[in-house]
Structure 1
Amino acid sequence: MTALGSVAFDEFGRPFIILKDQDKQTRLVGLEAQKSHILAAKSVAGILRTSLGPKGLDKMLVSPDGEVMVTNDGATILQQMDVEHQIARLLVQLSKSQDDEIGDGTTGVVVLAGALLEQAEQLLDRGIHPIRVADGYEMAAQAACARLDEIADDFPVDLEAPEPLIQTAMTTLGSKIVNKCHRQMAEIAVNAILVNKCHRQMAEIAVNAILSVADMKRRDVDFELIKIETKVGGSLEDTMLVKGVIINKDFSHPQMPKEVKDAKLAILTCPFEPPKPKTKHKLDITCVEDYRKLREYEQEQFEGMVQQVKDTGANLVICQWGFDDEANHLLLQKKLPAVRWVGGPEIELIAIATGGRIVPRFSELTAEKLGNAGIVREITFGTTKDRMLVIEDCKDSRAVTIFIRGANRMIVDEAKRSLHDALCVVRNLVKDSRIVYGGGASEIACALAVSKCANKISTLEQYAVRAFGDALESIPMALAENAGMAPTQTVAEVKSRQLKEENAHLGIDCMANGTNDMKQQHVIETLLSKKQQIMLATQVVRMILKIDDVRTPTDRI
């Protein structure tokens, strides 16, 4: 016997504990289980609802060790939350899927899924089977996507005229909030401002970064060529795009030159040290003569390695591994600047940018394997003299680095997340240049189309299709509510105007610009993002509705 209950053995002799209160435990099945799942999903969606749109609020997330994060990015909020309920975890995975596939709309997809489940709960109470509800939702999703294709506009993606792309990136950055430090003395007042104070600059950086690495023939963008580097200090306006690579390293010796022009880079993954046997070995030094011989051997090896690099014509060494003070001093004497402890991903990016080859052995190093860069310079920041290395004017300028500055870590991290969303949006436009208009305009247009589709259905699914249309209106309702408007009245007015004027560009005027025409306000969203939101939310909701019981490996019948 134990404090929990009695120990028994199964037919294989494995022990298990029979809990004393096992007969008192109940499990939720059927409709009660489905309602429990819907309640958990609605709770998660309710958390993100208030952070939707340009006037959405931020969330402060505090980790167990006290680290603070302030953000309104849906995927980040859900990833940092400690979610225990299994269905709530599905919504976390839903947001992550949207972030991985599209990079934008991570908040909207969860809010839509919560609204669909809220409507499904009412249908379940009316006795409609969950499968009929799920089938109706899928029919409505197809109708909504068809309507999106009808109202979509072709969008010009031109390397010579990036202004339309900048406007789209500004739409993405319009809802991002960061903090900016205004005081310079001991008392610091942090004033929360919208990124759109400088989001024109950030939008231009995002667009230029994408256009620098985009392959317009294949209509694709390789994100591996875009590196985002951050450094606390300075202001958000100091964020810049470097047509090259920035690495958080400095020259290995303080007396080495801080700038190398017309650099020929030897990119090494072998250390500056004498070779060691790969098997276990032992070296006994019993006298001074043995020690001198060992020192002479190491000296010869160091000089041979450095000379091999010099003979190829290299004037800069990028080494993945470290080297000791003796090798460092010898490199300084031979006037060969070097950078050590450069990480693997950075080594690869430098090789791509400079057109060099990564060399694993000194014997394999040749002049043809050297990388080329116009200038390699060391930059310092603030009074702390933090150093970073900038490699510019590279042979292959398609590799770029976005260098983000900010007053503190929270600002820098939020700016990094914001720029990631903007990069993803521009990438999506390169893949598919069709766009729809934001501010809830496309959701209202889809809701009207879904309602018309429901009128043509004679089976029980018509109720689910009509409920899907009502759920689509939750996005503009949340936008109006977060902007301080009367949500029901505002959405009803815009909906009636869309019907009357047959204008699918009318949405919620969150910024109070005096017009509901989102085309005039340049509030633009990619068609890929909007369709992905609808399809992903529908698939996850169908999965949740089909679950009527939850069993764990410890359950016994």
Structure 2
Amino acid sequence: MTAMPGSITFDEYGRPFIIIRDQDQQKRLTGLDALKSHINAGKQIANTVRTSLGPKGLDKMMVSSDGEVTVTNDGATILKMMDVEHEVGKLLVQLSQSQDDEIGDGTTGVVVLAGALLEQAGTLLDRGIHPIRIADGFELACQRAVEHLDKIAELFPVSADNVEPLIKVAKTTLGSKIINKCHRQMAEIAVQAVLAVADLENRDVNFELIKVEGKVGGRLEDTLLVKGVVIDKTMSHPQMPKELKDVKLAILTCPFEPPKPKTKHKLDVSSTEDYKELRKYEQEKFAEMVKYVKDAGTTLAICQWGFDDEANHMLLQQHLPAIRWVGGPEIELIAIATGGRIVPRFEELTAEKLGKAGLVRELSFGTTKDKMLVIEECSNSRAVTILVRGGNAMLVAEAKRSLHDAICVVRSLVKEPRVVYGGGAAEISCSLHVAAQADQLASLEQYAFRGFAEALESIPLALAENSGLSAVHALADVKAKQSSTNDPALGIDCMQTGNMNMREQHVIESVRSKRQQLILATQLVKMILKIDDVRSMGDQGSQGY
């Protein structure tokens, strides 16, 4: 009897059965073995990024398969670049990415918290508590922690007139990054960028209007904020002017090239007259294109596609500066900033569709030949660009990631202007509250509550370890003082200033970010605890079990 793998066949009595592919290679984990496998995988991933937490956290050097080196302490970036095989490990990578997409900051903390919750779940499983009871207990404890977080959160002034509080929050975010040597300047740039595009009445920030460009060369201190658009291009002809004022821009997605038939075509040039006629036709077409642009009142043409050299020379003769090969996202940003319309055909170009800008100038960098164009004083000046400088590509890339985190935190505060204090202060306060709530429960969930409270302490413990302190002593000291004074602003003194009051040190974090960390980590752990049957199909499926 033969049958194809994975097909239905029949035995000698006519009863159907399925032949499963690679059945001899199958492995299967069930019950506690499966749960232990998940927990170990989660703990390993969390331990990997744990050392990157906090202002004294260490960086990771990630080397890709093609030898490209990335140095970063951004949790989402580290996990994204790691080659994780275990499927539960991949879930933690997605958890970090979810935090990054939703909030933009706290990507390391959320994974450390999830790893600590899994570790506590493992201890509770060893005590014979059912995983469903543990998961439900964690969820209830998370609700209590979030409620307490809302109680200890303080209102935060967000105003375009007083930016100093926002700068302090951005500095807290940048304190753990490579660029912290100029974190005051970077914090100011992040705050100004967000306020330039923010709608403070509706508490909304259009993130698409903030563009972060990087250019290797110079120092980090040379990073600047441009209230307009920066494009990594130069004028299409070296003799075109390098600075233009009161500019009217034509934004074109049609190339300055002779039109081609859409169908398959073949052109035979059999004589000199044919060639001259073809050349004359091309010149007439170029002249017609330039005339369309010139007649609309354009003083600068921006084209998504290329120019023929002859068209480029004709534009120079007509004193019409132009930029070519501008990418799609930049084209859209220029259109938003200048109030212009993107024009797909020369025939449709009119004066009403032109964008307006006060100044277009060329930036040159030192003695190098690198040049970029800046479009400033736009009619709709809400679009901004941050031009990041740095000694090498690795530093520029990390500075861009750091600025992204700072911008996201400021955006969170615009959306919800409430803060809690950093240095593990909020986590310790929530831990004490959840532990107190556990004593009031008569059910089995009280063990899960205590486990959750201990897991919350993993954040201040990691901060203390990474700062070179005796972690247990530092945590015990802060817990004792928080219990006696009932002050939720007391945290780990990572910078060793002798003051553990985070309010006075201006170590401030968005309550939105903290709440999201608690909720996401708890939801993921609850989901993992409910997986008790894992089947690996050899080369066909998961290889991590």
Given the alignment, which residue of 504, 516, 535 partners 2:519? 535
Q: Please list the CA deviations of residues 421-449 of structure 1 after superposition, one character each: whole Å capped at 9, or x if unmatched.
A: 00000000000001000000000000011
Q: State how far apart, in whole Å, the 2-side matches of 1:19 and 1:442 are.
A: 51
Given the alignment, which residue of 259, 263, 267 partners 2:251? 267
Q: Match of 2:505, SS?
A: coil
Q: Match of 1:118, SS?
A: helix
State the 1:384 CA deviation: 3.3
Q: Match of 1:520, SS?
A: helix
Residue 457 of structure 2 corresponds to 473
Amino acid at match of 2:500: N
Where in structure 2 are there 5+ consecutive unaligned residues? 11-17
Q: State how far apart, in whole Å, the 2-side matches of 1:8 and 1:290 are.
A: 66
Q: Please list the CA deviations of residues 383-404 of structure 1 after superposition, one character each: whole Å capped at 9, or x if unmatched.
A: 4311111111111110000000
Q: State how far apart, in whole Å, the 2-side matches of 1:70 and 1:274 are.
A: 47
Instruction: Label 1:18 to 1:133 Cα distance change in 2 as closer, same or farther (>3 A).
Output: closer
State the 1:307 CA deviation: 1.2
Q: Match of 1:384, SS?
A: coil
Which structure 2 residues correspond to residues 434-445 of structure 1 after superposition, within 5 A? 434-445=418-429
Q: State how far apart, in whole Å, the 2-side matches of 1:58 and 1:273 are.
A: 50
Q: Given that residues 155 and 435 in structure 1 are in contact (C-alpha distance below 8 angstroms), is that contact kept between their aligned partners in structure 2?
A: yes
Task: Give aligned pairs, total.
Answer: 532
Instruction: Label 1:378 to 1:535 Cα distance change in 2 as closer, same or farther (>3 A).
Output: same
Given the alignment, which residue of 151, 174, 181 partners 1:197? 181
Q: State how far apart, in whole Å, the 2-side matches of 1:393 and 1:461 are.
A: 61
State the 1:32 CA deviation: 1.0
Q: Given that residues 155 and 434 in structure 1 are in contact (C-alpha distance below 8 angstroms), is that contact kept between their aligned partners in structure 2?
A: yes
Instruction: Label 1:269 to 1:12 Cα distance change in 2 as closer, same or farther (>3 A).
Output: farther
Q: Given that residues 28 and 536 in structure 2 are in contact (C-alpha distance below 8 angstroms), is that contact kept between their aligned partners in structure 1?
A: no
Residue 192 of structure 1 corresponds to none
Where in structure 1 are there 5+ consecutive unaligned residues? 1-5, 178-194
Q: State how far apart, in whole Å, the 2-side matches of 1:27 and 1:210 are.
A: 51
Residue 99 of structure 1 corresponds to 100
Residue 10 of structure 1 corresponds to 7
Q: Give the TM-score normalised by structure 2.
A: 0.95
Residue 325 of structure 1 corresponds to 309
Q: Given that residues 313 and 367 in structure 1 are in contact (C-alpha distance below 8 angstroms), is that contact kept between their aligned partners in structure 2?
A: yes
State the 1:272 CA deviation: 0.9
Amino acid at match of 1:80: M
Amino acid at match of 1:75: A
Q: State how far apart, in whole Å, the 2-side matches of 1:461 and 1:8 are.
A: 47
Q: Please list the CA deviations of residues 141-169 of structure 1 after superposition, one character each: whole Å capped at 9, or x if unmatched.
A: 01100111111000000011111000000
Instruction: Label 1:16 to 1:61 Cα distance change in 2 as closer, same or farther (>3 A).
Output: farther
2:387 aligned with 1:403, yes or no? yes
Q: Give the TM-score normalised by structure 1.
A: 0.93
Q: Given that residues 56 and 482 in structure 1 are in contact (C-alpha distance below 8 angstroms), is that contact kept between their aligned partners in structure 2?
A: yes
Which structure 2 residues correspond to residues 392-431 of structure 1 after superposition, within 5 A? 392-431=376-415
Residue 490 of structure 1 corresponds to 474
Q: Please list the CA deviations of residues 344-387 of structure 1 after superposition, one character each: whole Å capped at 9, or x if unmatched.
A: 11000000111111111111111111111111111222443111
Q: Given that residues 7 and 17 in structure 1 are in contact (C-alpha distance below 8 angstroms), is that contact kept between their aligned partners in structure 2?
A: no
Between 425-434 and 251-260, report the one with greater CA deviation.
251-260
Q: Given that residues 218 and 391 in structure 2 are in contact (C-alpha distance below 8 angstroms), is that contact kept between their aligned partners in structure 1?
A: yes
State the 1:526 CA deviation: 0.3
Residue 443 of structure 2 corresponds to 459
Q: State how far apart, in whole Å, the 2-side matches of 1:11 and 1:19 are.
A: 15
Q: State how far apart, in whole Å, the 1-side matches of 2:55 and 2:443 are.
A: 40
Q: Match of 2:241, SS?
A: coil
Q: Match of 1:139, SS?
A: helix
Instruction: Label 1:9 to 1:547 Cα distance change in 2 as closer, same or farther (>3 A).
Output: closer
Q: State how far apart, in whole Å, the 1-side matches of 2:48 and 2:21 are.
A: 39
State the 1:105 CA deviation: 0.3
Q: State how far apart, in whole Å, the 2-side matches of 1:18 and 1:531 are.
A: 45
Q: Please list the CA deviations of residues 282-320 of structure 1 after superposition, one character each: whole Å capped at 9, or x if unmatched.
A: 222221111111111111111111111111111100001
